[in-house]
Structure 1
Amino acid sequence: MGTVLKALLQQRHIQTVSAFNREYDAAASKIDSSAIGAGPKKAQFYRWLSGNISTLPYPHHCRILQEMFPGWSIEELFSNYTGGADLRQHKTMAIPPLASSISEISDIKSVFTRRAEFLKANPPQELFHEARTIDLVGLSLNILCQQCSDSEVLRMMRNGTTIRCLFLDPDGSNITEREHEEGHAAGALAHLTRLNIHMLQRVQSSRTVETGGRIHIRVYDAPVRFNLCIIDSEVCVMQPYLPFARGLESPTFVSKRREIEGTFQTFATVFEEMWRKGTEPEIEYSQGVTA
């Protein structure tokens, strides 16, 4: 069955040893910098999850775990979890609101610890439903190409939506580097990106006189740093690409344009510069093309 610790980590999508130790080091940096890098090894970590331990962890581990899971005692974390308790009702799961001092000086409106949490709160079909313009840059742009069907994208175009999509070049060197970094099989991300580009090219080719919107597709070959989605030049959804972690595991920030200079304007400028330097795909990608 496993421990309460295992259930909490699954709930937060950090149940692998590498993901756990990143969180461990982040907690250690707050209370005991000497413990950075001292997280559990793989075998020890999985004993923690299974409960196959004879004694509680060393004191430095206990201090870090209590920082990671405030409100939980060490005994509770390593007790057997039967599935009966609602972990969400425990105070460690409560997400405090942004401090007023931050909200007064920042255009950041919300923060999500993982992309899945953002998508659950903001389904792309709803996010894009009334959009006049959508600007996207990142890797494979799954938020549009995998979350919205052809018919949904066509509906946007009929409503006059203009979409600019800037993909990481599936034939470039930097997508290969990202595949290595995320631990994918060679060609996996390149193949997904080709399929996504083809999906948009297919919709693009079906455009009629009655379809007021347009789709513009470009590619770039540079280190992938951010995934940006800018809607109506008013709202920006930003995710950093973390080392050794898939995009799904990255935090997601939502900012809204304000009169004062803020993060929205910073990333809107980043998009325009990258778009200006991007190039149109040299070929029309077909589903038959393999990586």
Structure 2
Amino acid sequence: MTTECTFAVTALHLPALGCPMTDLDVIEGGTMTTVHRWTGRETRALRQALRMSIRDFSAHLGVAERTVSKWEAGQDGVRPRPEMQAALDTALGKASTDVRDRFVAALHVGEALPPAGATRSDLGAVARQRVGAVRAAAGLTPDSFADVLASPLGWRPSAEAVLRWETSETPPGNVMLALEALGQGPVPPSSDGLAGLTAVYPSRSQLSARLPADQILDGAQDIRAVGLSLNMLCQDYADRRWNGLLESGAHVRCLFLDPAGSAIQAREVEEGFAPGQLSALTKLNVETLLRVRDRLPADLRDSMGLATYDETLRFNIVLVDDLCVAQPYLTESRGVDSPAFVIRRDPQGTGLYPVFEQVFESQWQRGRRL
């Protein structure tokens, strides 16, 4: 017999959205959920909720990587055997509340698990935009908004959690219900007048403290970046995480300032670096991602595009699915000290996101492929 795992979650019941309820039941009027049968869909949702690559997840369960791949692909009707059903129950039962929330959200919203050939759901993006729009309409800081949410939630989230719910993490169902309890109806994404701007940090170090690289990149499907050395992607994100992303279907394009070009030499003068210092760092970062790409299976190497350009440096732009982090390069100011702007994509195609998206695409077209 297949075992069942029952645990408490803080997730929104979403049968009205047309989500399949065959393998995961959420009991309305309570907080209990039951996995009746683990299939590739539930297995992949758990792996992504744990933010593990196929390699790490297979080691976590004690099975071969190809076994996990077959589960997720539904290859030849392969499903976890009864003893592995029990192992998956245990893995889910021991997971933190955040992991369980991500697991339920992935299954119900469909954001992390689109069916083959289907368009990826925008419901997660809509939920994030809703939180940001309500906060902006109220004219509150993330910390003040956390105070407001505390009453309907019965507990106080951190300001960092509010920012995550607006930028990189699908808000839990009880947070969405809290917005309703506050008497806030749907707010159009553009109504805040901020053109999608979600947060501003005075420096890159403060951005990294509040939104670390793994929080921004984990689980992403489309990553595009242009800048100088792209330290966030190369120094702050481990090789094994890149492998996991690419194995799960992500596509990446990174555009570095040419280490041998004239533009990087001019920037060294502007930032007060010794000649060749920024060039050496950028070359090291390029080699880091080249190594990641070279270690990928042959059929995945095209998923990571790398290129260089040699033009006056204006912005560091990182586009991760519906999130954009943009930093201007200021004269007489090092890149690490420049302000960072966090911008969300507006489904209507307005705001600042498409502006920075166009900047990236135009520079990518002019870049030299590696």
Deviation per CA, 1:243-283: give whole Å up to 9, x if none.
Answer: 111111111001111115211111100100000110124xx
Identify unmatched segments of 5+ residues in structure 1: 1-95, 282-291
User: Is 1:241 the counterpart of 2:329 in the alignment?
Assistant: yes
SS of the residue corresponding to residue 148 of structure 1 reads coil
Deviation per CA, 1:73-106: give whole Å up to 9, x if none.
Answer: xxxxxxxxxxxxxxxxxxxxxxx739x9983352
Q: Give the TM-score normalised by structure 1.
A: 0.60
Task: Pick from 126, 141, 156 the counterpart of residue 97 of structure 1.
Answer: 141
Amino acid at match of 2:337: E
CA contact (8 A) 2:315 2:327 kept: yes
How many residues matched? 185
Instruction: Give the Å deviation of 1:155.
Output: 1.4
Task: Pick from 244, 255, 258 the counterpart of residue 343 of structure 2.
Answer: 255
Q: Which has the higher helix share?
A: 2
Q: Which structure carries more relative contact order (alpha carbon 8 Å, separation 6+)? A: 1
User: Is 1:165 the counterpart of 2:276 in the alignment?
Assistant: no
Instruction: Give the Å deviation of 1:150.
Output: 1.4
Equivalent position of 2:62 in the other structure: none
Q: Give the TM-score normalised by structure 2.
A: 0.47
Equivalent position of 2:214 in the other structure: 125
Equivalent position of 2:151 in the other structure: none
In structure 2, the CA distance between the partners of 1:238 and 1:102, relative to structure 1 (3 Å rule), is farther
Identify unmatched segments of 5+ residues in structure 2: 1-139, 143-186
Deviation per CA, 1:45-75: give whole Å up to 9, x if none.
Answer: xxxxxxxxxxxxxxxxxxxxxxxxxxxxxxx
In structure 2, the CA distance between the partners of 1:131 and 1:243, relative to structure 1 (3 Å rule), is same
User: Is 1:113 the counterpart of 2:202 in the alignment?
Assistant: yes
Q: What root-mean-square deviation, in Å, do the aligned CA atoms of Structure 1 and Structure 2 show?
A: 2.2
SS of the residue corresponding to residue 109 of structure 1 reads strand
Give the whole-Å Cα distance in 2 for the aligned partners of 1:190 and 1:267.
25
Greater shift after overlay, 154-163 or 175-184? 154-163
CA contact (8 A) 1:166 1:275 kept: yes
Give the whole-Å Cα distance in 2 for the aligned partners of 1:103 and 1:242.
28
Which structure 2 residues correspond to residues 203-222 of structure 1 after superposition, within 5 A? 203-208=292-297, 211=300, 214-222=303-311
Equivalent position of 2:29 in the other structure: none
CA contact (8 A) 2:293 2:301 kept: no
Stretches of 4+ aligned residues off by more than 6 angstroms:
none
CA contact (8 A) 2:294 2:301 kept: no
Amino acid at match of 2:334: R
Equivalent position of 2:74 in the other structure: none
Equivalent position of 1:183 in the other structure: 272
Give the whole-Å Cα distance in 2 for the aligned partners of 1:229 and 1:244.
23
Deviation per CA, 1:150-205: give whole Å up to 9, x if none.
Answer: 11211111111111000000010000000010000100000001100101111111
